[in-house]
Amino acid sequence: MSSNPLSRREFLKLAGIAGATVGLGAGLGGLVAACGEEEPSTTTTTAAGSTTTSTAAGSTTTV
C-alpha cells in the first residue's frame, strides 16, 4: 500500500467517479445494443385475387 493516507473526501470523490463510470458503461451498452440492425418483418395476405403486403414500418402495398 502507499504511505500516503487517503482522506475521506478523496475516497468519496474516487467512489463517485467509479460509480458514475459503471453507470455510464451500463447505459452505453444498452445504447449500442439499440443501434443494431433490425430485420423488418413482412406479412403477406391474399384476399379476393389481390395481394397485400405489410412491412414492419407500417406501409401497405396492394397489387
Could you report the per-residue pLDDT of 13-44, keeping only the tens digit for each?
999 999 998 888 877 777 777 666 666 666 66
pLDDT band of 3, cuts 50, 70, 90: confident
The three grid cell numbers given for residue 53, joined into one nine-digit string? 403486403
- What is the model's pTM? 0.41
Alpha-carbon separation of residue 52 from 35, 41, 47, 57, 58 (angstroms):
30, 14, 8, 14, 12
Overall domain count for the chain: 1
For the chain, give the longest Cα–Cα distance: 86
Residue 31 domain-assigned (yes or no): yes
Phi-psi map region of 49: left, alpha, beta (phi>0 left; psi -120 to 50 alpha): left
Cα radius of gyration (the chain): 27
Residue 44 domain-assigned (yes or no): yes
Q: What residue numbers bound the domain in which 41 lies?
A: 8-62
Residue 1 domain-assigned (yes or no): no
Residue 2 domain-assigned (yes or no): no
Return the pLDDT at 9.
95
